[in-house]
Every structure is written in C-alpha cells, then in structure tokens.
Amino acid sequence: MRNDMILQTKNVDFYYGACRALTDVTLDFEKNRVTALIGPSGCGKSTLLRLLNRMNDLIGGTRVKGEILFEGRNIYAPNVDPVEIRQRIGMVFQKPNPFPKSIYNNITFAPKLSGVRNDGDLEELVEESLRQAVLWEEVKDVLNKSAMTLSGGQQQRLCIARALAMKPDVLLMDEPTSALDPISTAKIEELIDTLKKRYTIVIVTHNMQQAARVSEYTGFFYLGKLIEFDATEKIFTNPGVKQTEDYITGRFG
Amino acid sequence: MKKHDRVSFMKWRYLRQSLFFGSVRLSALIIALALLGIVAFLIAHGYRAITWDFLTLPPTDSMTRGGIMPAIIGTFYLTIGAIAIALPLGVVSAVYLAEYAKQGRFIRIIRIGVNCLAGVPSVVFGLFGLGFFVVFLKFGSSILAGSLTLGILILPTIIGAAEEALKAVPQTFREASLALGVSKWRTISRIVLPSALPGVLTGAILGVGRAAGETAPIMFTAAAFFTAVLPQSIFDEVMALPYHIYVLATAGTHIEQTRPLQYGTALVLIALVLGIDLIAIVLRSAVRRKKRW
Amino acid sequence: MTSRVREIIIKNLFAFLAFISVLLLGLIVMFLFREGLPIFSQVSLKQFLFGTGWYPTYTPPEYGIRPLIVGSLIVTVLASLVAVPFGLLTAIYISEIAPARIKEILKSVIELLAGLPSVVLGFFGMVVLAPWMQETFDLPTGLNIVNTSLMLAVMAIPTISSISEDALYAVPRDFKEASYALGATKYETIVKVVVPAALSGISTAVILGMSRAIGETMVVLMVAGGAAAIPQGLFDSVRPMPASIAAEMGEAPFGSGHYHALFATGIVLFIITLAFNLFADYISNRFKEEGSGTL
C-alpha cells in the first residue's frame, strides 16, 4: 500500500526554446520515500528535477506544459510564487555550492530571510540541521570558519544541512555524490537513508548501484521520456521494458 | 509564524524587491540621461557654429571669430603621434604578457607597473612630459613631446585591450600550430595575432579617442594658445581642440562673446571622440557576432 | 641564425619592451622628484604639507598646500558619495536584471560616458550647471565644491560601474542557484549573495573610481572656482591639487620656487593615486589567490 503522493507530474512537456527536453512525463512521488531518477546523460532526468522546484524558471526561453502538483496544487499555476515553492522543496546540487560565508551563516541564510530573527532559535536550528546532516561533530567548534575551508564531502553535507534548515517537505538531489570520493559518497548515502524518515527525497543519479542502494522507487528516462517507473527492486531485477534492461545491464550507448 | 503573518511577510519581501529594482532602474536611467543630456545640450547650442568656414579657417580677430582648423590639425597630429608610439609598444607588451610570460615576480612587477601607469593622473603625465621631454631632452613644447606624453598615457589602455584580445584566441589554435612543428614566434605572428587583430584594433581606436580628448597632458608639452601658421615639423607647437576649448572658455578677454565658438569647438571635439568610441564599440560587437570560434 | 636562437632573442626582446612600462613609471617618479625636491630647500616638508597659505607668487612666497589637499579630498569624497551608489546600482542592473538588449545599449552608454573628454565636462559644469546653481540657490558663485563633485561623479561612475559589473558577472552561478533553491527572492539573492561574493571587485572599483576623481584635472580646473583656502561650506570654491598645477604651471618661471612647488604638489598627487592603485591591486590579488573568503 503506498502513502500519500506528495508530488505528481501530469503529462509534463518541457521546451528549451524550440527544443523539447521532456515529453509527456507522468510520475508520482510518494511521501517519505526515496525516488531515484536514472538514465543516460541528456535524458531529461535533471531537467525534470529542476522543474519540481521551478529552478528552470531562471533560464530564459523555456516553456512548461502539463501540470506539476505539490500537495495537490499545481505549482505552475499563475498565482503560485516560486519562492514559496522553493522554501518547501529544497535542493542539493551536483557540485557542492556553499556560499563564501561562514558555516553558521550558510545555514542561517535562508531561515533569516524567511523571518527567523531570534539568535537562540537560529543557534538551535544550526545545531539541529548539522546533526541531521551528520556534520555537527566535525564542525561544531569551527562554525565561524569559512565554509570554503571544508572538504568536498563536508561541503556537500553542509549544503544538505543548509537545505534542511528550511524544514522543507521534499529534498531534491541532483547527482549529489558525483563530485565526491567513495568515502564521502557512502556517508551521504547513509544520510539519505536516515533522512527519508522525515523527508521525501528525489535523487537523480547516473550511478545505478546508488539508485539500487538508496531508493524505493526508480524511474528510468531516455530521450526525454519516462520509459519505466516501478519499485526499485523490480526495476533492477525484472524490468518490464527492454530499454531499461539494456541500460541497467550496461548494454547501452 | 501564522499563515496570515507569513503572507504579509512575503508581501513585504516583494515590496522590498520592487523598491530596490525601481531604484536600480532609475539610476541606470539617470546615467543614460546624463550622457544624452550633455550631448544634446552641446548639439543644441553648438550646431549653429558649425559651418564649413568654422572647420576650415584659422581663428581671426584675437580668436573672437573665424574657425578652428589649426586646432583640428593639431589634435590630429598629436593623436597620430601618440598611437604610433603606444600601439607597437602596447601590442608587444601584451604579446609578452599573454603568450610568453609565466607566473613569477618579473611578471608581477610588470603588471603592477602597467596598473599603476594606468592610474597616474593626467596632469602628472603633463608634469613628467614637461620635466623629461620638454626640458631634459630639450624637445621644447612640441608635437613630439606632446605625442610621447599622450602615447605613454594611453599605453596601459592598449596593453589591456590587446591582452584581452589575445586571451580570447582559443588555445586549440596555438596547439594546432605548435603540433605541426611551427615555432612559437611564427605561431604567434601567423596565427594568434591575426585572430586577435579586431580586438587589438578596437583597443587602438579607443586609445585614439582617449588621446584626442585629453587636455592636461598637452598643456605644458605641446599645446599653444594660438599659432599663426600650421606646424612645419614635429618640433613645433600646435593648437589642439581640447586646449582651445579651455582657453576660449577661461582665458580669453571676450569669454561671453566667444561662447558660440566654445560650444562649436566642444561639439566638434565630442563628435570626434564619441564618434571614434562608437566606431570601436560597433566594430567590437560586429566581430563578436561574426566570431567563427 | 637557428630558429632556437631566434626564439630566445624574440622572447627576451619582448620581455624588455614589456618592461618599458615599469621603466616609464620609474622615470615619472624620477623626474617628479628631480623637479619637485628642490622646493624643500625653501620649506620643510611639514610646512609644505600642512601650511595653510598657498601664495607662491608673493614675496616672500608661501608654499603651504594644505588648502589644496583639503580641496582635493573633499571633492573626491563627495563625488564618491554620488558615484558609488549610482555606479554600483547600474552595475547590478546591467549584470543581474536588464534584458539582453538594454544591457548592450547601457554598456555602450557607460563606455561613451567614460570617453567624454574631461574638458567638455568641465565646460558643461562651467556654462550650464554653475549659472543655474548660482541663480537657484542664490550663491556668490556656481563654481564650487558641489558642482565640482557632481561633475567628478560623472567621470567616476563609468569606472565604478564597469569594474563592479565585471566582478558581479564573475560570481559563480552556483551561488545564485543555491540561494534561489533555498527560497530566496531575486533581491535577496543579489544583496545577500551576489554582491557580498563580488565585494573585493567592487571595492577595487570604488578605489579606482576615487583615484580617477582625485587625479582628474580639467573638471576641477574649470569648475572648482580656484580659491586656495580651506573651505567653510559646501558651496565654497576650492583649488584642488591638479587645478593648481594646471593653472599655474604656465606662469611659473622655469626653475623657480613656484615651479618646484608645483612639481612637489605633483609628487603628493602621484603618491596618493599610487597608494589607491596599489591598494586596489592588493585587494583584487589577495582575494583572487585565497578564493572567496568568509564574509
């Protein structure tokens, strides 16, 4: 039995100028589960991810057709503010991108903007977020040091903590470990496993083992289309479509 | 926060954004209007003075009538002289900085030197020109001394523009040539420099515009209040447009009476300088659009 | 001559020619000092810098340039107060907000503004702004500090705007994306992320803009009014250092005390602008090497 569907895409087409990047994508994301999006480079998986919190708005000349529902509400409806959407749907990027500020200020950046002023509240939030991202023990004594001094893996966990500080409902992760070493990758994967108790996670990855390890559901994309969507176990052991099988068994260009 | 509070807080955040964007747009608009206003004002007051005679005759009646031909010629000579000095030296310096130099103390010193040279006030260039070219080298107040002074003044501009143009040439061009066994110098002179030529040219044109408009560096090194005859050699003093404006506007005995001449001269000077700059801007954007790489 | 030898010769020749810029800077320093230092046989350095009387043609002459220095500083600071907000806001508009077409036009406008000959701006301030100010505010003269500062601001704005714009443009896209993804508005992203990340470049821009203003000659010569006294109000006339040099050098007999004093004033001006430029250079390099530090 599946939980609530927190995010749903309905017949989504997406265009960069005249070029169609996504075709008729219909997909439901279950609450408090990890959904992985896999597929070869340029298949549209990252594009879809960036549609889910309207990050693609920042690129000129793009067009969306169809609906993307967040808690039943179309986030592309004219009266919806993308800023509010992004406050509730956090994102972690491929390359760690901490601000050139202190660790503390990285975490408090967004909460301050949304009105949290009290120093005590902020401090609590910093500790809580860093603990959730399993970074607290490593940085608790250097909160005022520049985030740029952290290692790549630490930076990425900081970025996760930064996103968590907004207490989002959904966390989008765009190949979050592709720039990291294996040890850091393992830490992040572990983290994803604990985070799903509280958050809904959508992760884009080109690493199929990673998808298999961390997710409950997997969608396979190819040339802008959702080829197959199912429970991860099913996708990786008994895919329903030939193209999926070719891809996960490595017989794919 | 309660839902109601959150809504009004979001409203406040957007209000703040609108106010900021408004002031940002306003300041850009004011700057554009400032340029437009100054140019329009000079056109409105100066166009009546511009006649064929004004452009082709020397001043007469102790500079209360007549034209500005000697000043145009003088500015032309000084500018040509300046670019003749600064262009070769600037391009060679840029080639060295962009193509040969490795990181190190020597390069660092050259870069600091060029940056500092760019920051030297124009009147200090004037003093230097006076002390070095006019007095020490005994060139006297002359086209030569003025051109050299202006040449040094625009040297950093030329170096900067040329270096940027060289850096914009794709590394693959160099690699392709070097891989064919072509020497470094030949690669630079046959491949890199020709590719960078439009950019270098743009820099040179901007340098010409800058040299044509400068006053302080030529005040003590080249410019004359009035010359009865056109210069015969590079050791003669010349009249120059910017200095002529200054003289008419501040030092004449008939300042009010010669106002139309002042406006006319100012109009000729900005038409010349902004025209030159505009050519450079148009050339640059044309090159960017046509860029094959 | 083998190709190898030729290559080495070319490289060294070019290195020497590139070094000429440094030599020229050295020559400038040398000749400023050569012509300027003799004044200190007549006055002490302290009297020269802090003396309040600038009467170079009196007998006995007085060579105190404090009024000149004060004049330079006050118009520079006021000009910066106008030019920094305008320059920075315009840079933000060009780099972050303007549509592509307006952006191109505005960049050209800034470049043309930078190209306006200073004598034309001085002329404009003299024949347009000065009479208007005098009449509107009922002043003894329109050639004063405020007028000069406004004209100098026009000269400094292009410098500040174009260098700031480069700095803003160079801010990695990553930072902006991170900020948007956290639910920041565009305004918040610009003010809290982009501008702080570009701060070293913006500081460089401001310093170079101020350096441009303090060294500018024709505007202060034509618009500042020329009073060599310490001003009591913003509508007083002043005689900034470049104005003094430019106005008096023509009349100062070669080799006289006045002549040397003007060169010495040139030294002061040169040292101030050199300090500005070295500081700007230091800031931009320091932050370049360390990457973006803590803000």
Tens of pLDDT, residue by residue over A67-89, are 999 999 999 998 888 888 999 99
Residues of C in contact with A53 (CB under 8 A): 181
Neighbours of chain A (3+ CB pairs under 8 A): B, C
Strand, helix or coil for residue A102? strand
Is C205:C167 a contact under the CB 8 Å cutoff?
A: yes
**H-helix or E-strand containing A5?**
strand A5-16
**In CATH, what class is B52-290?**
mainly alpha
Q: Which residues pair with A20 in a beta bridge?
A: A15
Tokens coding A12? 């989504």
Tell me, yes or no, whether C91 and C2 share the same domain. Answer: no
Is the pLDDT confidence value at A215 over 60? yes
Residues C15 and C115 in one domain: no
Mean pLDDT taken over chain A: 91
A115 contacts in chain B (CB < 8 Å)? 1, 6, 9
Q: Provide the whole-model pTM.
A: 0.88
Q: What is the 8-class DSSP label of residue B238? A: B
Rounded to the nearest angstrom, the minimum Cα separation between C84 and chain A is 24
Same domain, C88 and C224: yes
Asked whether the predicted pLDDT for residue C289 surpasses 60, the reply is: no
Give the C-alpha separation, B223 to B244, whole Å: 9
ipTM given for this complex? 0.91
- Regarding whether C30 and C165 lie in a shared domain, the answer is no
Exposure of A65 in the CB half-sphere (CA atoms within 13 A): 11
Residue A120 corresponds to which amino acid? G
Higher pLDDT, B229 or C257: C257
Q: How confident is the model at residue A2 (pLDDT cuts 50, 70, 90)?
A: low
**Is residue C5 domain-shared with residue C108, that is, in the same domain?**
no
The closest CB to that of A91, out of C175, C181, C295, belongs to C181
Provide DSSP, A187-214: HHHHHHHHHTTTSEEEEE-S-HHHHHHH
pLDDT digits (tens), chain B, 293 positions: 566 777 888 888 999 999 999 999 999 999 999 999 999 999 999 999 888 988 888 887 777 778 899 999 999 999 999 999 999 999 999 999 999 988 788 999 999 999 999 999 999 999 999 999 999 999 999 999 999 999 999 999 999 999 999 999 988 888 888 887 788 888 898 889 999 998 899 999 999 999 999 999 999 999 888 887 788 888 899 999 999 999 989 876 778 888 888 999 999 999 999 999 999 999 888 888 776 55
Per-residue pLDDT averaged across C22-42, rounded? 95
User: C293 falls in which pLDDT band (50, 70, 90)?
Assistant: very low
Buried b (16+ CB within 10 A) or exposed e, C13-31: ebbebbbbbbebbebbbeb
pLDDT band at C3 (very low <50, low <70, confident <90, very high): confident
For residues C199 and C233, membership in a common domain is answered with yes
Domains in chain C, number: 2
CA distances for B127 relative to B82, B176, B207, C101, C238, angstroms: 17, 48, 21, 43, 21
Q: Answer yes or no: do C281 and C234 share one domain.
A: yes
CA distances to A93, A97, B102 from A136, rounded to whole Å, are 21, 19, 43
Tell me if A115 and B1 make a contact (CB, 8 A cut-off). Answer: yes
Lookup: tokens for B261: 């001449």
Residue C238 is given by DSSP the state B
pLDDT digits (tens, 9 = 90+) for C74-129: 999 999 999 999 999 999 999 999 999 999 999 999 999 999 999 999 999 999 99
How far lies C71's CA from each of A243, B88, B93, B185, C76, in Å? Answer: 78, 39, 38, 52, 9
**Three-state DSSP state, A218:** strand
Could you report the per-residue pLDDT of B182-211, keeping only the tens digit for each?
Answer: 888 888 988 899 999 988 999 999 999 999
Half-sphere exposure of C34 (CA within 13 A, CB side): 13
Residue A42 pLDDT grade (very low, low, confident, very high; cuts 50, 70, 90): confident
Same domain membership, residue C243 and residue C112? yes
Instruction: Tell me whether residues C277 and B28 touch, CB distance under 8 A.
Output: no
> Do the strands C54-55 and B65-66 form a parallel or antiparallel pair, or are they unpaired?
unpaired
Coil, helix or strand at residue A89: strand
| Per-residue confidence band for C251, with pLDDT thresholds at 50, 70 and 90 | confident
pLDDT at C30 over 60: yes
**Chain C hits for A204, Cβ within 8 Å:** none
Report pLDDT digits (tens) over C176-209. Answer: 999 999 999 999 999 999 999 999 999 999 999 9
| Same-domain check for residues C22 and C79 | no
* Residues spanned by the domain of C26: 1-41
- List pLDDT tens digits, range A155-182: 999 999 999 999 999 999 999 998 889 9
Report the distance separating Cα A129 and Cα A172, nearest Å. Answer: 16
Whether residues C47 and C89 fall in one domain: yes
- The phi and psi torsions of A38 (rounded to 5 degrees) equal -125, 170
**Is residue A77 classed as helix, strand or coil in its secondary structure?**
coil
Which of A149, B245, A5, B125 is CA-nearest to residue C116? Answer: B245
Q: Count how many pairs of residues, chain A against chain B, have C-beta atoms within 8 Å.
A: 9
Q: List CB contacts (< 8 A) between C174 and chain A.
A: 93, 95, 97
Residue C197 distance to chain A (closest CA, Å): 7
**Partner C contacted by B226 (CB < 8 A):** no
Tokens 């090159």 locate to B287
Q: What phi, psi does A220 have (nearest 5°)?
A: -105, 125
Question: Are C112 and C188 in the same domain?
Answer: yes
**Residue of A81, B270, A97 lying closest to C292 (CA atoms):** A97
Contact state of C183 with A83 under an 8 Å Cβ cutoff: yes
Check: CB of residue B207 under 8 Å from CB of residue B86: yes
C127 in the same domain as C13: no
Q: Cβ B278–C266 below 8 Å, yes or no?
A: no
Burial class of residue C110 in the structure, from the number of CB atoms within 10 Å of its CB (0-12 exposed, 13-18 middle, 19+ buried): buried
